[in-house]
Amino acid sequence: MLFEVVSPVTEQVIATVDELDPVDTERRIVLAQKGFESWRKVPPGKRAELLRSFARKVEESIEELALIEVKNSGHTISNARWEANNVKDVLYYYAGAVERLSGLQIPVAGGIDVTFKEPIGVVGIIVPWNFPMPIAGWGFAPALAAGCSVVLKPAEITPLTALKIAELAYESGIPENVFQVLTGSGSVVGESIVTNPLVKKIVFTGSTKVGVRIQTLAAQQIKPVTLELGGKSANVVFEDADLEKAAATAPYSVFDNAGQDCCARSRLLVQESVFDTFMEYFEQSVKSVRVENPELESSEMGPLISGSHRQKVDSYVDEENVMFRGHCPTGTGYWYPPTVLRVEDKNSKVLKEEIFGPVVSVQVFRGEEEAILLANDSEYGLSGSIWTSNLGRGIRVAQGIESGNLSINSHSSVRYWTPFGGYKRSGLGRELGPNATDAFCEVKNVFISTD
Ligand code: NAD
């Protein structure tokens, strides 16, 4: 069976891709197990060399990968280049980790105690449609470095860059069956990966609802899972902040990738004493966001991923609550304007649920304590920003917010060499950073008697 891939810019079919069934999926997992058995025996120096060669192939293909993503996902060309570069970067970074994968030697009486780190086996990586390239790379680069083989399942609607990356892996010399892309639906291919006993670890990025299902299925086999789930992060602006800078950058913290970003700061919390001044600056910056054809170098925001997703985003927007909006094209393409809402009801679904579009709600707070309470008034805890010129306050508030990734006077969320992941219903475990390979290793303790 084949399924169609549609461009969100032209609304036209741009490719057809295999829709695997459970039998195909099982066959590919058996091959991945064969791939694992050979890959784990590749000496570390050689494995590192092959990952560097894979990284170089990606590096040579940045422009091609970026253009595929622009067409398939509607990402702006500058974002798509960043995403492709991120895959190259994680491959180089974790190629270096192969040579540092070491166990411990622990002092004991009557002998020597050592620990080995052993690759866990076939790893299933299931990714969403919003950042197909980097999110896949955050899983497969450390997994391959640890000596695991990988079956990667892209989202149904955005499989094209994953398929290209698989070609690059083989061209770079990664042995057959070690890195495979399995296309198809979540309920068939995704669940077949999660429940197959040959798959020893699942890395899932996606909605909290599906994350719960995956953790439940994996629990039947005591299979470890890393879960990167939804977000509803706060952007907290204090009266002593550089208001112009905070307002100028705030649109990019929530409208980047058309708001289809788990780290989007979709709740803007502003201190009462500077509310009017800040909102004046913010309105100017929202209205200046360039929403246009994502292939243009000047484009700062593209369309939403699909017509049905646009309908879902729009269902959260009650015209009565709209403070102001930015601009977007009309006609073909799933466009949606940057939208700023003022919602008074603290229990409104606008404040509680992940909208995953270019929509931000604005709330007012009086002091530090209330800011922390409001920021934490969410089932999620993935990201967030704090704007203040008082570093002590910045740290106090960061310590008070239940979230895995915070930035003070900045909107950055991800650096591949620092850990990334969520509190509460935003996830379980951490990706990236120096310890990411541990998620793909079993630890074996061996005691050697000297008696
Ligand atoms: P989704 O949960 O619908 O799907 C994610 C992936 O899971 C897709 O590949 C899908 O086919 C697959 N899937 C669906 N049902 C499955 C099942 N029963 N078993 C196995 N696999 C299944 O999410 P989405 O709509 O593609 O992505 C948006 C969500 O992803 C948002 O909630 C967003 O916050 C989240 N996200 C989180 C992070 C993070 O790092 N925390 C990053 C990006 C996106």
Closest of 136, 256, 258, 123 to residue 206, by C-alpha: 136
pLDDT of residue 416: 96
Distance of CA 104 to the CA centre of its chain: 32
Instruction: List the structure tokens of 61.
Output: 């293909």
The CA–CA distances, whole Å, from 22 to 187, 192, 287, 344 equal 10, 6, 48, 48
The single residue listed with the structure tokens 């009266």 is 239
pLDDT of residue 273: 98
pLDDT of residue 404: 97
Give me the residues of the chain with pLDDT under 70, please: none
Among the four given CATH numbers 3.90.1150.10, 3.30.1280.10, 3.40.309.10, 1.10.260.40, the one describing domain 234-415: 3.40.309.10
Distance 130 CA to ligand 1 centre (A): 9
Ligand 1 atom closest to the CA of 227, numbered from 1: 41
pLDDT of residue 293: 97
Ligand 1 atom closest to the CA of 129, numbered from 1: 26
Ligand 1 atom closest to the CA of 194, numbered from 1: 20
Ligand 1 atom closest to the CA of 422, numbered from 1: 41
Indicate whether residue 230 lines ligand 1 (CB < 6 A): yes
pLDDT of residue 442: 98
pLDDT of residue 2: 85
Indicate whether residue 354 lines ligand 1 (CB < 6 A): yes
Ligand 1 atom closest to the CA of 230, numbered from 1: 34
Distance 407 CA to ligand 1 centre (A): 25
Active site residue ranges: 228, 262
The residue contributing the CA closest to ligand 1 atom 9 is: 155
Indicate whether residue 83 lines ligand 1 (CB < 6 A): no
Which of 126, 215, 309 gets mutated to test ligand 1 (max ligand atoms within 8 A of its CB)? 126
The residue contributing the CA closest to ligand 1 atom 30 is: 206
Kindly give the pairing relationship between strand 234-237 and strand 225-228.
unpaired
Query: How far is the C-alpha of 25 from the C-alpha of 38, rounded, in Å?
Result: 20
pLDDT digits (tens, 9 = 90+) for 159-171: 999 999 999 999 9
Give the N- to C-terminal CA distance of the chain in Å, as an integer: 64
pLDDT digits (tens, 9 = 90+) for 16-66: 999 999 999 999 999 999 999 999 999 999 999 999 999 999 999 999 999
Which of 73, 229, 266, 405 gets mutated to test ligand 1 (max ligand atoms within 8 A of its CB)? 229
Distance 10 CA to ligand 1 centre (A): 24
Distance 121 CA to ligand 1 centre (A): 23
Indicate whether residue 430 lines ligand 1 (CB < 6 A): no
pLDDT of residue 348: 95
Same fold for the domain at 2-229+426-449 and the one at 234-415? no
Say if CB 417 and CB 100 are below 8 A apart: no
User: Can you give the residue ranges of every domain in the chain?
Assistant: 2-229+426-449, 234-415
Distance 248 CA to ligand 1 centre (A): 31
The CATH class given to the 2-229+426-449 domain equals alpha beta
Looking at this protein, which amino acid is placed at residue 49? E
Query: How far is the C-alpha of 398 from the C-alpha of 70, rounded, in Å?
Result: 35
pTM over 0.75: yes
The residue contributing the CA closest to ligand 1 atom 40 is: 228
